[in-house]
Amino acid sequence: MNGLIGNDELQQDGTEWELRLYIAGQSTRSAVAFANLKKICNKYLAGKYHLEVVDLLQNPQLSSEHQIIAIPTLVRQLPAPIRKIIGDLSNTEKTLVGLQLSPAKVSHE
């Protein structure tokens, strides 16, 4: 898993994480996803992430940029490559795998 090792190196370099959460209006599912994401970020990426929440109802034209079809969708823009996680992020383990933040690696660090 080369990608994983590369990410570790980036993290050690203090790379900024740039995340974007796409939602549509103030639905409970969006709120759940936002809360779940906050939890994960605070635990694993404290101090080195930037999170932007995009409401597609207000900016529909933004949906094509990241090819968003499902709501909610979390996009990891940085570090590269781009990763997409769709759903309410209720499965923390899967979310971490999706972000390539495997718990084992992080705890080892």
Partner 1 sequence: MSARLQKSPTGIHGLDTITGGGLPRGRPTLVAGGAGSGKTLLGMEFLIRGIQQYDEPGVFVSFEERATDLTENVASLGYDLTALIADKKLVIDQVQIDRDDIIETGEFNLDGLFIRLNAAIDAIGARRVVLDTIETLFAALTNMHIIRSELRRLFGWLKEKGVTAIVTGERGDGVLTRHGLEEYVSDCVIALDMRVTDQIATRRLRVVKYRGSSHGTNEYPFLIDEQGFTVLPITAIDLNYTVSSEVISTGIPKLDAMFAVNGHFRGGTVLVSGTAGSGKTSIAAHFADAACRRGERCIYFAFEEASDQIARNMQSIGIDLARWADKGLLHFQAFRPSSLGLEVHLSTMLKLIDDIKPQVAVLDPVSSFISAGTDLDARSMLMRLIDLLKSRQISALMTSLTSGGHAAEQSEAGISSLVDTWLMLRNLEQAGERTRTLSIIKSRGKKHSNQARELVLSERGVDLAEVFIGPDGGILTGSAREAQEAADRTAAAALVDEMARKEAAMQRKRKSVNARIAEMQADLAAEAGEIGVALGVQASVAADRAAARAAQALRRERAGEEVGQS
What is the contact surface with partner 1 in residues (CB under 8 A)? 22, 24, 29, 33, 56-57, 60-61, 63-64, 67-73, 81-91, 94-95, 97-98
Nearby residues of 53 by Cβ (< 8 Å), 6 or more positions away: 20, 21, 23, 34
- What span, in angstroms and rounded, lies between the C-alpha atoms of 70 and 93? 20
Rounded to a whole number of angstroms, the distance between the first and last alpha carbons of the chain is: 17
| Minimum CB distance to partner 1, residue 4 (Å) | 15
Q: Which two tokens stand for residue 38?
A: 């906050």
14 or 74: CB nearest partner 1: 74
8 or 55: CB nearest partner 1: 55
| Minimum CB distance to partner 1, residue 61 (Å) | 6
